[in-house]
Structures are given as C-alpha cells and as structure tokens.
Amino acid sequence: MSYLAKNYNRKKISFKFGKGSYLFSSDNKKYLDFVQGIAVNSLGHSHPKLIKTIKNQSRKLWHVSNAFQIPEGEKLAKKLCKKTFADFVMFQNSGTEATEAAVKVARRYFYSIGKPNKNRILCVKNSFHGRTLAAIFASGSKKMTEGFGPKIPGFDHFNFGDHDSLKKKINKNTAAIMVETIMGEGGIKVIPDWCLKELRYLCNKKNILLILDEVQCGIARSGDFFAFEKSKVKPDIVPIAKGIGGGFPIGAVLMNKKVASGMIAGSHGSTFGGNPLAMSVGNTVMDIVTKKSFLNNVKNLSKYFLESLNNIKSKHPKTIKEIRGKGLLIGIQLYKDPTKFIQKLMDKRLLTIRAAENVIRVLPPLNVKKNEINDALKIISKVCKDFK
C-alpha cells in the first residue's frame, strides 16, 4: 500500500533516470518524455551544465536567509531585469506562490498610494494560477475550489475571449487584470497579440495593473523569452516559475518600478525563496535559454513541429480537431476525451499530458533534437491510424 495521500491520479509507472529528452523506467523501458515535468525541465533531464552548477554550489552554500545579501540572487535578478520589462524581482519557490505574490504586489501598490479599496483582481474563468487558497479562487474553477470554502473574496471573472464580459466586470475597485498569456492547463489557448494590446490599453485607461502569468509559457517556452514579447506590450507584474529552475523549484515575481514602490521592507518574505542553491541553478538556465541561437532554434523546431502536426491533422480530420500553441507549448485537441489516446502514445513510449478541452499537451525540452520530434510525430501518426 502507499502512504501517499490520494490527491493525484498517478500512472502506474516510475522512472530510474533521465537523459535529455528521454526517461528510463524502473522496468527498463525508454520513453520519449514530452511532458518534462509539465514544462519544467526546460533543458531536459540531467543537463551537464546544471549538474555541474549544482555540484559546485552544493559544496559552497545551500541556504542562508533573506536577512543577508545573496549575490547569486542579485545576479539572477539583474539578468531577468536586463532581459525583460522588469525593474525588480522577488524570488519564491513555486508558481502558485509567484501568482499569489503578484496579487499582493498589485494590492500593496494601490494601498501605498492611498487607494486601499482598489484591491479586486479580474481573472479568466477556469484559468489556472496554482493551488493555494487565493490562487484557486483566482482561477474561478468549480472543480478546484470545491470543498475548500469559505470563498476567498476579491476575485472577479470574465470568459476567455469575451471582451464585453471583461469590460462589464471592471469597476472602480479593480486593481489588476491577471491572465495567462497562454492558458496552459486550460487547453493551450493563446491570447493573440492584438488582445494583449487591447488589454494594456484598457488597463492604462482605467488605472488598472496588468499581470501576465507566464509560469508555464515563459522562460523561452514560446520561442521568445516571454510569450507576450512580440506584442510589445509591457505588463506591470509577471509571475514566473516552472522553466526557470530547469527542474529545481524556483518561482519569482517580476515587476516594474511603479508597483515595486509598495513592497517596502517587511511587506513580503519567503524562507526558502531565492536561496543560493536555487539561484545558481536559475543563473545557469538563464544563460542558456536567453541566447539568441537557442531561442531561434526553439522557433524553428516549433515551426516544423506545428506544421507536421497540422499535416497529421489533415490526414485524420475526424480525430484531431485543432493543433494549438506557440513555441514548444503545443496542444493537440481531439474531438473525443484524450485519455485513451494518451495511453496509446505511452504504450508506444511517448509521454504527453492532458489539459482541458480534450487537449493533449506536448511539451518537449527546449533543447529537443529534430530526430526526437520526428520520432514523436511517427508515434502520433500511428496512434491516429489506430484510433477510431
């Protein structure tokens, strides 16, 4: 029997080790891992530079306290700010902590300028911002909040893509609009650039902050460092996590100077957040994924992958409804529930993971090789043929 609580529906498989795009199971089978810990292992398994970083740093210093200076954190924060819209960074340990801290930053800003009632956060219904109490009520999903009442107040919701419902839900107490630039769990739904621009315009007009949750789609996953980059929109606050640690738990909130002014000493903290071990790993990931050649490679592979998947779709128009996504954040939407399809992919040694709206998420490491993508395409194509 298992002593682990039953809050996960785990597949009956475990792994001994991983290398790059591959996982090796306890029963000695080799799997192509296109889950990568749900877009977490941006450089695949056992990346030599990450191993080296952890080895070196673990001999020197793991953890101190944020009561002291942490040069590795200073370095990573500087890199993040130089690369993005941000002026300041606050480190956390996970995505949900980062989204919740983003909400805190937004509220604290309006409080600090004498508008404490401007504290409501407007979110997309059935979005995903994590699993803390505030984050589940921000997500506005019945399934995630069921049994966890009383409801945490302060969150309003609009329907994805429904601009009228968005405008209707804004009131004088709205402090921020928080959306995922690309909805991950929600089924790989991309907010088009013109909508992001519209959102920014609306926020400017109504003195509302724009929070773009890039926990899943950020850190080069979309082919740009941030998924909103191409739109030229500058958000006020961006929570990140998943990809930045390459498998080591790191979260962070990036923010501009304006909103950072509210976060005075003592206003927020985290015991583990930003410790030297995590920060040194983050620095190594950052150095690799921000290289122009690296990002270009993600873009090229993405183009090839998406085009090839669309070819498969055109051959199986009754099975595949839509190919979605950007960069290497890819969704295959089926007409039917994808459980069996995912199982068949797994039987053929390709690991994928589901999202809402009958979507199969395909999340290779960002340094995936073209021949590995070809292997995945062959498997997907085969399963389509068998899948009736």
Ligand X SMILES: *Cc1c(COP(=O)(O)O)cnc(C)c1O
- Provide the binding-site residues for ligand X, judged by CB under 6 A: 94-96, 99, 128-130, 180, 184-185, 213, 215-216, 241-242
Min dist. Cβ of residue 55 to ligand X (A): 25
Q: What contacts 24+ positions apart, CB below 8 Å, involve 139-146? A: none
Q: Closest residue (Cβ) to ligand X?
A: 95
Chain mean position to CA 277: 21
CA end-to-end span of the chain, whole Å? 36
Instruction: For ligand X, give the closer residue by CB, 70 or 135.
Output: 135
Return phi, psi of residue 237, to 5°: -140, 135
Pick the closer one to ligand X by CB: 215 or 219. Answer: 215
Pairing of strands 120-124, 155-158: parallel
Return the exposure string of 108-124: e unless at least 16 CB atoms fall within 10 Å of the residue's CB, then b.
Answer: bbbbeeeeeebbbbbbb
CA dihedral of 56, 61, 65, 68, whole degrees rounded to 10: -90
Q: Report d(CA 373, CA 162) in Å as an integer.
A: 35
36: left (phi over 0), alpha (psi -120 to 50) or beta: left
In the complex with ligand X, which residue's Cβ is closer, 120 or 189?
Answer: 189
Output the smallest distance, CB 180 to ligand X, in A.
4
The full DSSP string for 349-379 is TEE-EEETTTEEEE---TT--HHHHHHHHHH
CA distances from 261 to 171, 255, 256 (A): 24, 10, 9
Which residues partner with 32 through β-bridges? 22, 350
216/275 with CB nearer ligand X: 216
The nearer residue to ligand X, 118 or 189, going by C-beta atoms, is 189
* Least CB distance to ligand X at residue 353 (A): 12
Shortest Cβ 118–ligand X spacing (Å): 23
CB of 177 to ligand X, least distance (A): 15
Closer residue to ligand X (CB): 362 or 380: 362
Smallest distance from ligand X to CB 143, Å: 15
Alpha carbon of 18 to those of 37, 42, 282: distances in Å?
12, 13, 20
Q: How far is the CB of 240 from ligand X (least distance, A)?
A: 9
Of 215 and 359, which has the nearer Cβ to ligand X?
215
